[in-house]
Amino acid sequence: MKSLYLIIMGVTFCVTSYSSCLLCGTLRDSGGSKQELRVMSYNIHHANPPSTLDSIDINAIVHTIMAQQPDLVALQEIDADTERSGKGNQAEIIAEKLGMHVFFGKAIDFGGGEYGVAILSKYPLSEGTVYKLPTKAGTGGEARVLATVKIKLPDGKFLRFGSTHLDAQKENTNRLLQISEIAKISSEEELPMIIAGDFNDTPNSEVIAVLDTSFKRTCNDCKPTIPVNDPLHAIDFIAYKPQKNFSIRGHKVINETYASDHLPIVATLKVNF
């Protein structure tokens, strides 16, 4: 395993590459010239099962992801060498167990270590970048980021994939600033792009309305993803741009209620480029 630490825009991140990939292969053939890509988004709550306080169960997260056989995964609430979660970068540990490529984007220093978002990929990744998202001074909002990578598909074509986790405060002030910055970043992207994550707002909100101006979500009647035992709100989404490059084959919420305080989501996209 090789890890490369770089600094972009004042943010430290790590790219880890594995020479073997247990889940690697070709894009799923959808019966014609177009092929399918399976995308997952999962807020893992630093691998702490809500029913078992102060415990860490990485294997529960691994098993949940493995069961879905995703090609790309956006992870949120990742600990790296923190006091509460122990030694190691959780994204790297999960990736190693799954045999996937990994990219970690730090949002903040936390508990003696780092905390942020991550990307897992069945396919080679490069050009990892961490964008610091704005937070209005005086709001007490926690720093948030968008992490993106360039994915090389088996046919040699490329796409950009991003993972994010927006502000969690009741007021949407920071979320609106952050989603607007994401829209700006995506407007400058020449590659087809998929973004996924925990947006901490619902489909009828101002925040998701801004998301919808730049991206097409994989769900219209989005099923709730929190709380896990009696889900009421959809706040986790997968979206893509431009529409001509993707079409939706399916979207579902995974009923896994032990591993995290969020239900994971999975979308199957037909790749049209």
Total count of residues recorded for the chain: 273
Q: Within its chain, how far is the Cα of 167 from the centroid?
A: 15
**Token duo for residue 122:** 């069945």
pLDDT at 147 over 50: yes
Rounded mean pLDDT of the chain? Answer: 91
Share of the chain above pLDDT 90, in %: 86
Closest by CA to 76, choosing from 44, 51, 37, 123, is 44
pLDDT at 5 over 60: no
Q: What is the 3-state secondary structure (H, E, C) of 126-173?
A: EEEEEEEECCCCCCCCCCEEEEEEEEECCCCCEEEEEEEECCCCCCCH
Answer whether 89's CB lies under 8 Å from 81's CB: yes
Closest by CA to 6, choosing from 189, 149, 122, is 149
Give pLDDT, residue 16: 47
The string of pLDDT tens digits covering residues 98-125 is: 999 999 999 999 999 999 999 999 999 9
* CA dihedral sign of residues 92, 98, 102, 106: negative
Integer CA distances (angstroms), 268 to 30, 53, 146, 169, 200, in order? 11, 34, 22, 31, 23
The DSSP letter of residue 273 is -
Give 23-82 as a DSSP string: T--PPEE-SSS-EEEEEEEEE-GGG--TTSTT---HHHHHHHHHHH--SEEEEEEEEEEE
Using CB atoms within 10 A of its CB, is residue 163 exposed (0-12), middle (13-18) or buried (19+)?
A: buried
Calpha distance 208→148 (Å, rounded): 20
**pLDDT interval class at 1 (50, 70, 90):** very low
Calpha distance 17→218 (Å, rounded): 29
**pLDDT interval class at 32 (50, 70, 90):** very low
Helix (H, G, I), strand (E, B) or coil at 5: strand
Give pLDDT, residue 11: 45
Calpha distance 37→34 (Å, rounded): 10
The string of pLDDT tens digits covering residues 150-186 is: 999 999 999 999 999 999 999 999 999 999 999 999 9
The DSSP letter of residue 266 is E
Give pLDDT, residue 167: 98
* Structural domains of the chain, with CATH: 30-271 (3.60.10.10)
Integer CA distances (angstroms), 227 to 132, 183, 234, 236, 258, in order? 28, 28, 10, 12, 11
Looking at per-residue pLDDT, the higher value among 241 and 3 belongs to 241
Closest by CA to 76, choosing from 159, 10, 168, is 168
Mean pLDDT to the nearest integer, 120-146: 98
Answer whether 35's CB lies under 8 Å from 270's CB: yes
pLDDT at 33 over 70: no
